[in-house]
């Protein structure tokens, strides 16, 4: 798994390549500048440390100032942060820093909408693995900033027997038994089901968590009665801003929302950079 520094380095290399032929031929190394980042719409901010680190990778002496922290609500027109340092570093880092900030803030803002609608409902909203390749750790961080929770980070930290696993493993019972015999007793087993017969089989097989996939509200309610508190109940599939409250009201424990990440739009954030003085290097 890439570290945050690795992701920043990859992003900068992708953008700058062997050289920034505009900046390098226009701006001398002796020039300093200031960059002011402005919210063009109201949003929940996420990724401030990442954005700051982009500029610090290009100029370790960059000075960063902000009145906000991740998770704060920023209003349209607010100055999110200001960076001061070598003008070349500001110009080279601007787009990469904004790309991270806009994407992560978009996810956090999207998630916060769902969380705010729940009010006193105690159902736990969780994300999925439907993330941008390579950016999962950051996007799942943005989900937490928005107020929801992470499901599993990847295939390595939780057992989830989905429909294709069930087909490959010879059914729910056989799959659960085989996996149970090979994993630690501390690891929960979750099974995805799509009808009441599969719910019954998952219960009898000893599943710890049952995921009700793309089931109607009526079938979800029937499943909850059938399960009777013997397992954790998760709902997944086709969850949107329009229907998630109806799902929350059924009494399930978890709702997984792929739209947290795959349908979040990047927020509108801009940066204005201007030269200030020479460093006399």
Burial class (CB in 10 A: 0-12, 13-18, 19+), 121: exposed
Active site residue 69: no
Half-sphere exposure of 254 (CA within 13 A, CB side): 23
Radius of gyration of the chain measured on its C-alpha atoms:
23
Catalytic member of 129, 152, 162, 221: 162
Taking each helix axis as running N to C, give the angle between helix 217-227 and helix 196-205, from 0 to 180 degrees, rounded to the nearest 10. Answer: 30
Active site residue 234: no
Catalytic member of 70, 139, 192, 198: 192
Q: Are strands 189-193 and 209-213 parallel, antiparallel or unpaired?
A: parallel
Place of tokens 């309610």: 221
Cα 73 from Cα 69, distance rounded (Å): 9
Cα 56 from Cα 33, distance rounded (Å): 14
Active site residue 222: no
Active site residue 95: yes
Catalytic member of 130, 144, 180, 219: 130
Catalytic member of 95, 124, 144, 221: 95
Active site residue 163: no
Q: What are the residue numbers of the active site?
A: 95, 130, 162, 192, 213
């Amino acid at each position: 798994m890439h570290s945050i520094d690795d992701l920043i380095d990859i992003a900068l290399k992708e953008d700058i390549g062997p050289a920034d032929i505009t900046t390098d031929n226009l701006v001398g190394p002796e020039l300093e500048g200031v960059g002011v980042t402005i919210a063009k719409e109201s949003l929940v901010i996420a990724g401030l440390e990442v954005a700051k680190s982009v500029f610090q990778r290009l100029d370790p002496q960059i000075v960063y100032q902000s009145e906000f922290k991740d998770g704060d609500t920023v209003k349209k027109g607010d100055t999110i942060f200001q960076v001061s340092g070598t003008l070349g570093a500001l110009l080279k880092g601007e787009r990469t820093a904004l790309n991270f900030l806009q994407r992560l803030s978009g996810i956090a803002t999207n998630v916060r909408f769902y969380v705010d609608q729940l009010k006193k409902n105690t159902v736990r909203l969780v994300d999925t693995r439907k993330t941008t390749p390579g950016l999962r750790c950051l996007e799942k961080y943005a989900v937490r900033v928005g107020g929801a929770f992470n499901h599993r980070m990847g295939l390595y930290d939780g057992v989830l027997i989905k429909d294709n696993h069930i087909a490959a493993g010879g059914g729910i019972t056989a799959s659960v038994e085989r996996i149970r015999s090979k994993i630690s007793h501390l690891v929960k087993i979750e099974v995805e089901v799509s009808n009441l017969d599969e719910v019954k089989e998952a219960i009898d097989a000893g599943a710890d968590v049952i995921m009700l996939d793309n089931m109607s509200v009526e079938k979800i309610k029937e499943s909850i009665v059938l399960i009777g508190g013997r397992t954790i109940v998760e709902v997944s599939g086709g969850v949107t801003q329009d229907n998630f409250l109806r799902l929350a009201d059924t009494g399930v424990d978890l709702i997984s929302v792929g739209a947290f990440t795959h349908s979040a739009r990047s927020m509108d954030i801009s940066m204005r950079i201007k030269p200030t003085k020479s460093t006399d290097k």
